[in-house]
């Protein structure tokens, strides 16, 4: 497996970095947070990113996509992660878009996926429920068959990019009990549906996430994605893609946190010398650098395995998530400690990266969960 960028990929990565540097500095994230922006991101800037083709990278050209892959999408998301750009590439493009693309419902694909690609619509993916921890099959939401379709009742939590979304894809149980792999079906529910409510959640990283409540929401049979009762396979596929994209964002965040820290080491003086001249701090910086480079290789391997449909893709995705969870925390923790007291203040950006590292670590499973998953997939 080749773990270097080809010429086209280098151009994509540099273009994304240049765009994010110019249009989405960390100051913009701070402004969105301070203003209490309901979406938590800029809809206008998101459409501008879509106009550059970024939102269509992993999708087929038949629906307006670029027909590329996750090896290219992760380059975009890594650049976004560097500046904490909160646009809905994880919940909307990767999760909602992938569920539509893989769901096999041609009518829903035609109606929704081109609009996801051009940035005019956001479709969220609501897989997580209270107390489910990291069990994607711990679904208590029920789908009761009716004369014209189904009636959905239940509650989802931490639904990424659900605030302001135009539709939410909801896994619900048509049979079995919470924790069973069988008996799950995925439904697309349009915003404004009777009985559907979306309540914004406050997160330490200030990202767009919500509680989605379904109180007898009526949907038709045409809203089903995948095969009735066998939605677990679709959930698995969507989550593998989402985890891979999240690790790319984490890679960008840890890289920027490291750069901020190195810059501080080069400029902060103590006892009449730059603190970067202290050997102890040099060793700590060297360790963070090595961990970031290892994390980069893991992310690249996971993305390429997904694109190739490799049999060990899921295992490599867990490897990347475990590595990035540990490395991002290390880079952010070391950054705050080396900045010392000012690193704990809101005035300095380094604290934002620690908050994002903590939130990202717990999203889709922490490092311990993924190390165990990696071992189980390897039959250890």
DSSP conformation letters of 271-290 = TTEEGGG-HHHHHHHHHHHH
Task: Write out pLDDT tens, residues 232-285.
Answer: 999 999 999 999 999 999 999 999 999 999 999 999 999 999 999 999 999 999
Task: Write out pLDDT tens, residues 92-148.
Answer: 999 999 999 999 999 999 999 999 999 999 999 999 999 999 999 999 999 999 998
Single pTM value for the model? 0.97
Distance of alpha carbon 231 from alpha carbon 242, whole angstroms: 16
pLDDT of residue 2: 78
Q: Residue 116 in contact with residue 108, Cβ under 8 Å?
A: no
Distance of alpha carbon 348 from alpha carbon 84, whole angstroms: 14
Q: Residue 367 in contact with residue 322, Cβ under 8 Å?
A: yes
**Whether the predicted pLDDT of 230 surpasses 80:** yes
Mean pLDDT over residues 165-192, rounded?
97
pLDDT of residue 256: 98
Distance of alpha carbon 278 from alpha carbon 266, whole angstroms: 11
Distance of CA 333 to the CA centre of its chain: 21
Confidence band of 4 (pLDDT split at 50, 70, 90):
confident
pLDDT of residue 3: 81
Confidence band of 324 (pLDDT split at 50, 70, 90):
very high
Listed in sequence order, the DSSP H helices in the chain are 7-23, 26-35, 43-51, 70-82, 97-102, 106-117, 232-267, 279-308, 313-339, 350-362, 367-377
Q: Residue 197 in contact with residue 213, Cβ under 8 Å?
A: yes
Report the candidate in 202, 186, 337, 347 with the shortest Cα–Cα distance to residue 261: 337
Q: In the predicted model, what is the mean pLDDT of the chain?
A: 97
Q: Rg of the chain over CA atoms, in angstroms? A: 21
């Amino acid at each position: 497996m080749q773990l270097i960028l080809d010429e086209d990929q280098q151009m994509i990565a540099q273009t994304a970095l240049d765009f994010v540097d110019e249009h989405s500095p960390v100051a913009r994230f701070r402004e969105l947070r301070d203003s209490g922006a309901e979406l938590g991101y800029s809809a206008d800037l998101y459409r501008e990113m879509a106009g550059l083709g970024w939102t269509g990278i992993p999708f087929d050209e038949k629906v307006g996509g670029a027909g590329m892959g996750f090896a290219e999408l992760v380059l975009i998301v890594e650049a976004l992660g560097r500046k904490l750009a909160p646009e809905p590439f994880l919940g909307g493009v990767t999760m909602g878009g992938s569920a539509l693309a893989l769901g096999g419902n041609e009518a829903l694909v035609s109606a929704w996926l081109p609009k996801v690609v051009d940035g005019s619509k956001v479709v969220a993916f609501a897989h997580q429920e209270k107390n489910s921890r990291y069990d994607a099959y711990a679904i208590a939401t029920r789908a009761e068959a009716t004369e014209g379709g189904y009636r959905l009742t239940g509650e989802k939590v931490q639904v990424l990019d659900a605030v302001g979304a135009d539709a939410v894809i909801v896994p619900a149980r048509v049979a079995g009990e919470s924790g069973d792999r069988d008996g799950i079906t995925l439904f697309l529910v349009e915003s404004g549906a009777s009985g559907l409510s979306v309540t914004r959640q406050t997160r330490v990283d200030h990202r767009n996430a919500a509680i989605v409540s379904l109180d007898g929401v009526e949907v038709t049979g045409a809203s089903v994605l995948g095969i009735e009762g066998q939605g677990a396979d679709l959930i698995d596929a969507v989550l593998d893609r989402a985890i891979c994209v999240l690790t790319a964002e984490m890679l960008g965040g840890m890289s920027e946190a490291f750069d901020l820290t190195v810059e501080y080491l080069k400029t902060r003086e103590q006892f009449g010398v730059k603190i970067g001249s202290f050997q102890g701090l040099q060793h700590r910086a060297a360790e963070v650098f090595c961990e970031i480079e290892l994390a980069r290789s893991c992310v690249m391997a996971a993305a390429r395995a997904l694109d190739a449909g490799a049999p060990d893709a899921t295992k490599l995705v867990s490897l990347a998530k475990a590595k990035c969870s540990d490395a991002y925390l290390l880079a952010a923790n070391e950054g705050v400690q080396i900045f010392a007291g000012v690193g704990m203040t809101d005035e300095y950006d380094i604290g934002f990266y620690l908050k994002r590292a903590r939130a990202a670590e717990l999203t889709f499973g922490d490092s311990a969960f993924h190390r165990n998953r990696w071992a189980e997939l390897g039959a250890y």
